[in-house]
């Protein structure tokens, strides 16, 4: 990468709904900082993980709130929307001060670039859906497809998915914390379903004998209810539970299933209600032989019982794509009108 002869300035916009965007940014930012000064922008309000880097801009954005019954909390989402502030932030964000602007499905940076007629690099899982080759459920949603293209519009997509479905799509960024684990198959189940309240999940998993760890965004202190342990979302505790679980029950987001695939875990993935992206991910996972469910209810117990009798799947050791990511991002400063890939 010696062709990058000057220290560049990069603005990295990160979607703050959920932890996956933060997790990926934590892995990518140190590599970018070898070649550029990186300013960070975060919008949204549903993050449990810390970024560990200074935040230059923090906005409300256009994120959604997790509900308690498997879907989105629409009331809280509407109450946290501030369209006047969003428009002001888009108009005032100085994207022209940067050599490269990146949006991880973050709308303020994306729309500010659109307004300034400046190229924007879409470095996200959602960018992979700009390809028609990426798996979709049998019934596509017009609104969902519209959101993929217009929520945070980008001119240079670099997507991530479970497979390289197109030439601008890379395999998942697996953080070093996961790569360094030595997975084993213990006797407990690990559950991370942030769209469900932990009390509801506990009522289901208490009906089986197997010990279960439920990680909850709403839980502040560790709770014990028979065979069920409820824990706040903590990276150390989560990784310890995940690395040794026998079955991983998670949402059909992107990072959590990717880490389960990498660790070779038996999984059941449950897409959020009315969340089209997760329905697309569930279809991609089904194509890879992963068990999915429409919602978390007592029918999960039978799926778990069936899965327990099956052998653990082979680990999918996704390669380290960091050098490829950095090369594709930095080359946009040299050829800003090219499409990545």
One digit per residue, pLDDT tens: the chain, 341 residues?
555 545 789 999 999 877 788 989 999 999 999 999 999 999 876 555 678 899 999 988 666 555 556 555 544 544 566 578 889 999 999 999 999 999 999 999 999 999 999 999 999 999 999 999 999 999 889 989 999 999 999 999 999 999 999 999 999 999 999 999 999 999 999 999 998 999 999 999 999 999 999 999 888 899 999 999 999 988 899 999 999 999 999 999 999 999 999 999 999 999 998 899 999 999 999 999 999 999 999 999 999 999 999 998 999 999 999 999 999 999 987 764 444 33
Q: Which residues contact 199 (CB under 8 A, 6 or more apart)?
A: none
Confidence at residue 260, expressed as pLDDT on a 0 to 100 scale: 98
The whole-number pLDDT of residue 140 equals 86
Q: Is 1 a domain residue?
A: no
For residue 66, the model assigns a pLDDT of 53
* Same domain (yes/no): 155, 57: yes
Match 């200074």 to its residue by tokens.
54
Using DSSP's 3-state secondary structure scheme, residue 29 falls into helix
pLDDT confidence of residue 84: 82
CA gap 219, 197 in Å, rounded? 9
Which residues span the domain enclosing 189? 176-308
Residue 341 lies in a domain: no
DSSP state at residue 129: G
Residue 222: give its domain's CATH number.
3.40.50.2000
Q: Do 88 and 147 fall into the same domain? A: yes
Does residue 315 form part of some domain?
no
pLDDT of residue 341: 38
Residue 34 domain flag: yes
C-alpha 89/C-alpha 179 separation (Å) is 37
User: Do 137 and 187 reside in the same domain of the chain?
Assistant: no
In a domain, residue 235? The reply is yes
Q: Are 302 and 158 in a shared domain?
A: no
Q: Cα separation of 261 and 317, whole Å?
A: 8
C-alpha to C-alpha distances, 302 to 202, 299, 334, 337, nearest whole angstrom: 16, 6, 55, 53
Quote the pLDDT of residue 182. 96
Query: How many whole angstroms separate alpha carbon 308 and alpha carbon 293?
Result: 16
Position 339 scores a pLDDT of 42
In a shared domain, residues 21 and 136:
yes
Token pair of 18, please?
């959920």
42 and 119 part of one domain:
yes
- Are β-strands 247-251 and 266-270 bridged in parallel, bridged antiparallel, or unpaired? parallel
Which residues are registered as beta bridge partners of 247? 189, 266
Number of domains present in the structure of the chain: 2
Whether residues 146 and 181 fall in one domain? no
Nearest 10 degrees: CA dihedral of 228, 233, 235, 239?
A: 30
Are residue 212 and residue 255 in the same domain, yes or no?
Answer: yes
Q: Let me know if residue 283 belongs to a domain.
A: yes
Alpha-helical (H) ranges within 19-136 are 20-32, 74-79, 83-92, 107-116
Do 106 and 232 fall into the same domain? no
Residues 35 and 182 in one domain: no
Q: Is residue 19 part of a domain?
A: yes
Which 8-state DSSP code applies to residue 163? Answer: S
Judging by DSSP bridges, how do beta strands 189-192 and 212-216 pair with one another?
parallel
Are residues 168 and 197 located together in one domain of the fold? Answer: no
155 and 183 housed in the same domain: no
Specify if 136 maps to a domain: yes
pTM listed for this prediction: 0.89
Contact 15, 61 (CB under 8 A): yes
């Amino acid at each position: 990468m010696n062709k990058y002869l000057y220290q560049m300035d990069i603005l990295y916009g990160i979607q703050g709904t959920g932890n996956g965007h933060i997790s990926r940014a934590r892995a990518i930012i140190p590599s970018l900082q070898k070649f550029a000064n990186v300013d960070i922008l975060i919008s949204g309000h549903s993050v449990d993980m810390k970024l560990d880097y200074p935040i230059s801009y923090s906005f409300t954005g256009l994120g959604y709130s997790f509900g308690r019954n498997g879907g989105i909390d629409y009331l809280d989402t509407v109450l946290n929307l501030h369209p006047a502030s969003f428009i002001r932030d888009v108009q005032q964000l100085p994207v022209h001060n940067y050599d490269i602007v990146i949006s991880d499905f973050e709308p303020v940076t994306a729309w500010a670039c659109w307004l300034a007629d400046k190229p924007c690099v879409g470095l996200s899982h959602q960018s992979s859906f700009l390809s028609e080759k990426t798996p979709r459920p049998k019934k596509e949603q017009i609104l969902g497809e519209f959101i993929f293209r217009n929520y945070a519009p980008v001119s240079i997509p670099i997507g991530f998915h479970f497979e390289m479905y197109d030439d601008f799509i890379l395999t998942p960024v697996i953080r070093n914390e996961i790569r360094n684990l030595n997975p084993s198959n213990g006797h407990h189940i690990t559950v991370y379903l942030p769209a469900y309240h932990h009390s509801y999940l506990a009522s289901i998993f208490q009906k089986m004998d197997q010990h279960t760890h439920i990680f909850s965004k709403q839980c502040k202190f560790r709770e014990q209810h028979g065979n069920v342990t409820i824990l706040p979302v903590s990276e150390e505790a989560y990784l310890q539970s995940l690395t040794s679980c026998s079955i991983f029950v998670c949402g059909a987001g992107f990072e959590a299933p990717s880490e389960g695939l990498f660790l070779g875990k038996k999984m059941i993935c449950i897409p959020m209600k009315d969340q089209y992206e997760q329905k697309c991910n569930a279809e991609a996972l089904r194509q890879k032989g992963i068990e999915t469910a429409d919602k978390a209810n007592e029918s999960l117990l039978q799926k778990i019982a069936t899965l327990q009798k099956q052998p653990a799947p082979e680990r999918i050791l996704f390669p380290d794509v960091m050098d490829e990511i950095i090369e594709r991002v930095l080359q946009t400063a040299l050829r800003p009108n090219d499409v990545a890939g």
